A and B are shown apart, each in its own frame.
Chain A
Amino acid sequence: MRRQAHKLLGLGLTGLLIAIVLIGFVWLPYDPLAIDLDHALAAPSLAHWLGTDEFGRDVAARAMLGARTSVLIAVETVTAAIVLGTMLGLVAGFLRGWTERVLMTISDALLAFPGILLALALISVLGSGSLSIVVALAVAYLPATIRIVRGSVISIREREYVEASRVAGDSALYTMWKHVLPNAMPPILILATSLFGWVVLSESALSFLGVGVPPPAPTWGNMLSSARPYMYTASWLSIAPGICIVLTLLGINMLGDALRDRFDPRDNA
């Protein structure tokens, strides 16, 4: 019962996020970049549901555009990390031997850096901007992805159907693609969901630090960052973007938990 409610809430929140992003393509309450100094720092009202910021820009419109940016960056980053991580993890776990040792040594060394620090370091080299964030975060989350995929591949490669494929003379590539990968999909899917949440969180943190998506383009993180000087006069600026992040993460995390329950029936007591 509770699990069901959990799943529905997760689906609902994630659906809401997607809906907001899609609606944002055809309709926004205001131009999110239009400066209107006469109405700067206006409190939430009927005209501006979430108020306006220090340049008189509509916070609701900016939050909607910010949702698009966050979701796009997260989708690109997760796709890159999962595709690359799955390939490398598959190769490491299936071939084992030297390939595995080299790949795992490198990814272990990368794991010695906290993800956000590694991303910061890469951004210091790549410069800031959406593409740098995608590359930096994808690399930062790659080692964990490789490790998890390799972990499940190692147990799958010992199963009889893989053995059978090998004995039948299939090439390693064919066996990996046809027999190992499909069976490794559930954990990869769960990982992708968790990654999505982490990336949304990391991207907003980077933007908050001023090394993410540069203004005037709005993201939840840089909106919070520019709200910092107006805590005394316009506290709503510090609240709305944060709620957006929390609802997004709640939805994704609940969806992830539901997926985990579905694929891992062990703990169904």
Chain B
Amino acid sequence: MIGYILRRLVLALPTLFLVAIMVFFLVRLIPGDPAQVMLGEGATPEAVAALHKELGLDQPIYTQFAIWFGHLLRGDLGTSISTGEPVGRLLIDRAQTTGIVVLLSVGLATLIAIGAGMVAAWRRGSLLDLAVMSGASLILAIPSFWLGLLLLLVFGVWLHWLPVVGYIPFSEDPLGALLFLILPIATLTISESGVLIRMMRSSAIDVLRLDFVTHARAKGLAERTVLMRHVFPNAFAPTLTLVGLTIGRLFGGIAVIETVFTLPGLGRLMVTGVLARDYPVVQGCLLFTALIFVLVNLLVDLLYPLFDPRVTVQ
């Protein structure tokens, strides 16, 4: 098992290395002097010269990459141009908010998907199925940020139940923080459940056709037992894969939700980085997200054998 994890991690290294190369060259794609671009128009010639030396811009490009990559391996992602803070610390700070929202939302969305998807598959063709599938299709067509705006409008502006703007860090006041996180989490839960419901339903339908389900029913097992003990474990694997991909995608991709609810998360960090042309921050966000993506997918692969006994970890 440990050998397998190590092997998978080693296999992920070329991908991560390629990601690092891409992130490095991204900034070099910008026309002009990278040091000047990174420091902005108002930079003094001395500052530009100093950054030149630090980045090794007078050296050949592969040496520049080696210097940058060396820093990276030591966990040094540089400092933010606009705030002067180390990018590594910024990322860790911001990842907490994003992490809480993403994990709770995807967790809830998965539970909803299992329930709704299984029931829809079980009563395939019924009105209930039609309702579930129409709901899922509608969710797929609603942009998450607009759903967020609507929820904000209803529960914040019209009903005054929940705060509209602001944020309390989780570490200071968990309950107060939760109050600000209810709407973002609700939004993301609804948004992400659409695809998951469809996936769960379609794999449950495939499993319901199989002989062992007929056999389980013929044994006289209660429908509930058949569904939970026989159908669910065999139908969950594809949804689990999708859950992994979703978590990886959302870690970098909920900038819109964070913007709607003014949450200080990773996506927001990336967007302000892009707008301010704060390239160390942009590079840091990209690297961090790619790393999370690779790790989450590894975790999912490790969980796979639990749900599909044909897959063995070796």
A117 CB within 8 Å of chain B = yes
Q: How far is the CB of A49 from chain B (nearest CB, A)?
A: 20
**CB distance A117 to B289 under 8 Å?**
yes
**CB distance B157 to A231 under 8 Å?**
yes
Cβ–Cβ < 8 Å partners of A242 in chain B: 142-143, 146, 149-150
Cβ–Cβ < 8 Å partners of B290 in chain A: 112-113
A37 CB within 8 Å of chain B = no
Contact of A124 (CB < 8 Å), options: B145, B250, B282: B282
**CB distance A124 to B277 under 8 Å?**
yes
Cβ–Cβ < 8 Å partners of A211 in chain B: 271, 274-275
- How many residue pairs link A and B with beta carbons under 8 A? The number is 129
**CB distance B294 to A249 under 8 Å?**
no
Stretch among B15-23, B70-78, B219-227, B229-237 lining the A interface: B15-23
A32 to B252, CA, bound (A): 34
A178 CB within 8 Å of chain B = no
Main secondary structure of the interface of B (DSSP, over half): helix
B255 CB within 8 Å of chain A = yes
Given the known interface contacts A125-B26, A125-B29, the answer about A208 and B256 at a Cβ–Cβ threshold of 8 Å is yes
A254 to B138, CA, bound (A): 10
Q: Which 9 interchain pairs have the tightest Cβ spacing? A: A249-B141, A242-B146, A109-B18, A114-B253, A124-B274, A117-B252, A250-B141, A114-B249, A112-B290
Beyond the given A120-B270, A124-B274, A124-B277, please list 17 additional residue pairs across the A-B interface where CB-CB is below 8 A.
A108-B15, A110-B22, A112-B293, A113-B286, A114-B248, A114-B250, A114-B251, A116-B253, A120-B282, A124-B26, A125-B27, A125-B29, A208-B145, A208-B256, A211-B274, A231-B149, A232-B157
A-B contacts, 23 listed (Cβ < 8 Å):
A2-B130, A105-B18, A106-B18, A109-B18, A113-B19, A114-B252, A114-B293, A115-B249, A115-B253, A116-B255, A120-B270, A124-B273, A209-B259, A224-B149, A228-B149, A231-B149, A231-B156, A231-B157, A239-B150, A242-B143, A242-B149, A246-B143, A253-B141
Task: Name A residues whose Cβ lies closer than 8 Å to a Cβ of B.
Answer: 2, 105-106, 108-110, 112-117, 120-125, 201, 204-205, 208-211, 224, 227-228, 231-232, 235, 238-239, 241-242, 245-247, 249-250, 253-254
Task: Name B residues whose Cβ lies closer than 8 Å to a Cβ of A.
Answer: 14-16, 18-19, 22, 26-27, 29-30, 130, 137-138, 140-143, 145-146, 149-150, 152-153, 156-157, 164, 248-253, 255-256, 259-260, 267, 270-271, 273-275, 277, 279, 282, 285-286, 289-290, 293-294
